[in-house]
Amino acid sequence: MVVVMAPWARPRQVDAVVRAVRLTGGRAVVSRNGPRTLVGVDGGAPDRDALRRMRGVLHVAAVDAGYRLVSREHSPERSVVEVGGVPIGPGTLTVVAGPCAVETPEQTLAAARMARRAGATLLRGGAYKPRTSPYAFQGLGRRGLEILADVRAEVGLPVVTEVVSAADVDVIAEHADMLQVGARNMQNFALLEAVGDRGLPVLLKRGMTATIEEWLLAAEYVAQRGNLAIVLCERGIRTYETATRNTLDIAAVPVVQRLSHLPVIVDPSHSGGRRDLVLPLSRAAVVAGADGVLVDVHPDPASALCDGPQALVGDDLHRLSDAMAELGRYMDRRPPVRPAAAA
Ligand code: PEP
Ligand code: MN
């Protein structure tokens, strides 16, 4: 069962619902994102009518899905997640861009400027990289976070960066505006709980062999720790096809949007794994209804320490921003406004 609180509900009214549930032996978790406050209930609980009559309660829904807090069953209105003042969700089309890995201050600053040229309002770069090979570049770690924070101050784009271990959540949260959980960690439950506890917006990529239900249950792990500010990212799944790095599951966009109120963006860079596929896959994502795209850019892809072949460069940038602006209008979406700090 999910109790949907009114946007104007007072904290003490939420507390009263939680107390009422606990008094009857139930378990209650409160999850929030902006004006949305949900109380997830399981076990014994007062009857639905009694809960419905409590002050501040908008409605009470019996939700069968295991992913009850992130389900759309109780919240037909889709969510907007704000990242450092930049909205991701219905009505807007958000471009998130940056270098796959933070390598040097100069490379990161150049990539951030490129990201802006590509129409991005959020900068994404990896300081902690989950690499398939232990011999591959693992990221600059803490130094990379400092570079990201400096570049954020210079360019004015809020920062999204990946967290690969629960032990790093706090230090990363001090330097970033959104925490990315990558495909390889989609079912790292301790990590999901840690980013849920931290409360910063979370970008949750789909695991490469995860079903949509497993992906939504992973999001539920974050939500049931109180944090409903989650953006889902379809980044391609592993199939028998080897012509592309992964197979972009474009159907996942409308399917997930029907099942969940959370925003959904698409990563055409890791899906196709090739620069020439990024633009067509981005177009497909927007027309399928995605709330944004996440793309890699690099000032010198040939020398990139990670994922150079899929990084946009040069004319690719304005081609992407033009396509997003044009298709965004067609899909009734406006580009998000950069936060005031942006130059
Ligand atoms: C990344 O975003 O750089 C990354 C490693 O992607 P994924 O987790 O989707 O493989
Ligand atoms: Mn990458």
Q: Report residue 311 as tokens.
A: 């990084």
Helices (H), the chain: 11-23, 48-52, 105-117, 142-155, 169-175, 189-198, 212-223, 252-259, 268-272, 275-288, 316-330
Q: What is the whole-number distance in angstroms between the Cα of residue 105 and the centre of ligand 2?
A: 18
Task: Pick out the chain residues at pLDDT < 70.
Answer: 338-343
Angle at the Cα of 263 (from 332 to 7), degrees rounded to 5?
95
Does the beta carbon of 100 sit less than 6 angstroms from any atom of ligand 1?
Answer: yes
Does the beta carbon of 183 sit less than 6 angstroms from any atom of ligand 1?
Answer: yes
Q: What is the whole-number distance in angstroms between the Cα of residue 183 and the centre of ligand 1?
A: 6
Most informative mutation of 234, 235, 310 for ligand 1 (most atoms within 8 A of CB): 235
Q: What is the pLDDT of residues 1-59, one digit of tens each?
A: 999 999 999 999 999 999 999 999 999 999 999 999 999 999 877 889 999 999 999 99
Does the beta carbon of 270 sit less than 6 angstroms from any atom of ligand 1?
Answer: yes
Listing DSSP states for 47-68 in one string gives -HHHHHTSTTEEEEE---SS-T
Q: From CA 206, how far away is CA 224, in angstroms rounded?
A: 18
Which pLDDT score, from 0 to 100, does residue 64 have?
Answer: 76
Which pLDDT score, from 0 to 100, does residue 342 have?
Answer: 45
Name which residue sits closest to atom 4 of ligand 1, judged by CA.
Answer: 182
Name which residue sits closest to atom 2 of ligand 1, judged by CA.
Answer: 182
Q: From CA 224, how far away is CA 229, in angstroms rounded?
A: 11
The number of the ligand 1 atom at minimal distance from the alpha carbon of 101 is 3
The identity of residue 126, as a single letter, is G
The number of the ligand 1 atom at minimal distance from the alpha carbon of 236 is 9
0.85 cut: is pTM over it? yes
Q: Do 173 and 195 touch, CB atoms closer than 8 A?
A: no
Q: Which domains does the chain have, with CATH numbers?
A: 2-61 (3.30.70.1140), 81-330 (3.20.20.70)
φ, ψ of residue 176 in degrees (nearest 5) = -125, 165
Q: What is the whole-number distance in angstroms between the Cα of residue 51 and the centre of ligand 1?
A: 42
Q: What is the pLDDT of residues 43-64, one digit of tens each?
A: 877 889 999 999 999 999 999 7
Which pLDDT score, from 0 to 100, does residue 108 have?
Answer: 98
What ligand has the least distance to the C-alpha of 132?
A: 1
Q: Report residue 76 as tokens.
A: 């037909």
